A and B are shown apart, each in its own frame.
Chain A
Amino acid sequence: MLSGTLSVEALLEKISAETRAQIIQRDIENPLMIGIRTGGAWIAERLHQDLDLETPLGVLDISFYRDDFTQVGLNPKVQPSQLPCPVEGRHILLVDDVVMTGRTIRAALNELFDYGRPASVMLITLLDLQRRELPIQADVVGGTLALGPDQSIKLSGPDPLTLTIRQRD
């Protein structure tokens, strides 16, 4: 069974290279990168630097769009989403640290579309944890990980970034 910490740097390098390749392949000019708070925003910050993108980084807080509000209520640490420019007609690079059920990404897409109609959205993630509950796939994936049913993974950061696999009691 998996345990311990994973190297974030190696995964970052990989998604950075693949994102660059995808941008060229899709012939995207001046994309707008948006990280999902909190883990996704940390990863996006590093990627944004690596790729030397022109448009400033955006941050999305999806707390108001979660589909589990009726079960878990409002996140008390909700912060404003900050988008540096309108998303209308822009190519979006959406970044999250991990993708599992796909529900966070669904919420993020819903919020994004409340800001306008992007030209395209590319999904980038450090880790794909599988266990999908919605038909959502990432375009760029650092690695795939199959956690045990009682395991979870947490990204800590922003400096240094570490991924820790935890055993739930």
Chain B
Amino acid sequence: MSDPINRCPIQLTENGQLRHFLTTEGLPRELLTEILDTADSFVDMSAQQVKKVPLLRGKTVVNLFFEASTRTLSTFELAAKRLSADVLNLNISTSSTKKGETLKDTLMTMRAMHSDMFVVRHSDSGAAHFIAEQVTPDVAVINAGDGRHAHPTQAMLDMLTIRRHKGQFEGLKVAIVGDILHSRVARSQIHALRILGAEEIRVIAPQTLLPRHIESLGAKVYTDMNSGLRDVDVVMMLRLQKERMDSALLPSESEFYKLYGLTRDKLAFAKPDAIVMHPGPINRGVEIESAVADGERSVILDQVTNGIAVRMAVMSMAMSGQLAEKNRAQPDIDNLNL
């Protein structure tokens, strides 16, 4: 493990609090559990008439999206607004050849505007980590997807969805199906599932869409749907990354569907109470049959709801860690709960 972006001590304060959220890899189980617990409280906030808490009031959150995404951007925006932050959305094209220089200039400009948090999406692996290095300690950075590396908030909203449906991770068999090769989501999911103690993590994909050495992350590899889905508790489908597909890794979408599309017939191999997940947007008839996507075992819309709660949790925790660092020198705070 010599890859610096995979170790990421920069994510935590000296006291072990979250200050940036760049990857799920290497984080302690307690911290992931704390994210899920905090997110649970935000899910239940939906009972409020005013669906807003004042935690980030007066803070400025900038969504720096170097790669287009409507869904992720809007849930991050909504999460920040429900925390009462002021939000700025920037869609920045990466077409420029002087990418590094442009990026740095953008960061310095944003920092000069006294932003408190950057939510970063970028097509290059390691971009969020690079940005965090530039702006620590002034700005907290949340990774909203970097290249093929990580998409930690997506993984955590999946974890929240699993926990809310299954109660715990111990004893669970989880299958991740589809384009593992190009999927930052899959990587973050595998790390999170392993840290949280899932019993068995399987990846199911054609040989051409499997990264080499995926087993070293702790996942069992299957190239056949029926045997891979046998007795699993959770089926996590991935979107076919058409825009990331370089060349002829697949014969055709219809053949992919025939072999790896989640149909009712194939789902029958999973446990009768297995849940079906998909990060969206769904390619109906490519990765998943409509009857399954809309079926009673599908929790796809819960994932969307939980996504906002998880992003609120991560944003408030990172801001909290950030502020704690700044205030560490301050005296006794015992007993403020009165």
Using a CB–CB distance below 8 Å, which chain A residues touch chain B? Answer: 61, 63-65, 68-74, 76-83, 88, 98-101, 104, 110-111, 113-116, 129, 152, 168
A78 touching B337 by the CB < 8 A rule?
no
Residues of A within 8 A of B335 (CB): 152, 168
Instruction: Identify which of B89-97, B240-248, B325-333 touches chain A.
Output: B325-333
Q: How far is the CB of A88 from chain B (nearest CB, A)?
A: 8
B54 touching A110 by the CB < 8 A rule?
yes
The contact string, 1 if C-beta is below 8 Å from chain A, for chain B 104-123, is 00000000000000000000
Residues of A within 8 A of B323 (CB): 69-71, 73
Q: How far is the CB of A117 from chain B (nearest CB, A)?
A: 9
Closest A residue by C-beta to B324: A73
Among A69, A81, A129, which residue has its beta carbon within 8 angstroms of that of B55?
A69
23 contacts between A and B (CB under 8 A): A64-B55, A64-B316, A65-B54, A68-B333, A68-B336, A70-B323, A71-B323, A71-B333, A72-B327, A73-B323, A74-B320, A76-B38, A79-B37, A79-B41, A80-B44, A81-B45, A82-B44, A100-B338, A104-B337, A104-B338, A111-B53, A152-B335, A168-B334
Closest A residue by C-beta to B31: A76
| 14 further A-B pairs in the complex, CB-CB below 8 A; given A114-B48, A152-B335 | A61-B41, A64-B45, A64-B55, A65-B53, A69-B320, A70-B327, A71-B333, A73-B324, A110-B54, A111-B53, A113-B50, A114-B49, A116-B49, A129-B338
Residues of B within 8 A of A101 (CB): 338
Q: How far is the CB of A167 from chain B (nearest CB, A)?
A: 12
A83 touching B338 by the CB < 8 A rule?
no
Q: Contacts A61-B41, A104-B338: A114 and B52 contacting too (C-beta < 8 A)? A: yes
Residues of A within 8 A of B6 (CB): none
CA distance A98 to B40 in the complex (A): 28
B321: CB under 8 A from chain A? Answer: yes
Q: B residues 268-289 with Cβ under 8 Å of A?
A: none
Residues of B within 8 A of A76 (CB): 34, 38
B327 touching A71 by the CB < 8 A rule?
yes
Residues of B within 8 A of A73 (CB): 17, 320-321, 323-324
B55 touching A98 by the CB < 8 A rule?
no
Q: How far is the CB of B275 from chain A (nearest CB, A)?
A: 22
CA distance A46 to B306 in the complex (A): 35
Q: How far is the CB of A45 from chain B (nearest CB, A)?
A: 18
CA distance A52 to B41 in the complex (A): 29
B47: CB under 8 A from chain A? Answer: yes
B54 touching A64 by the CB < 8 A rule?
yes
Top 7 A-B pairs, shortest CB-CB distance: A73-B320, A80-B44, A100-B338, A64-B53, A114-B50, A74-B320, A152-B335
Q: How far is the CB of A103 from chain B (nearest CB, A)?
A: 8
A72 touching B333 by the CB < 8 A rule?
yes
B38 touching A78 by the CB < 8 A rule?
yes
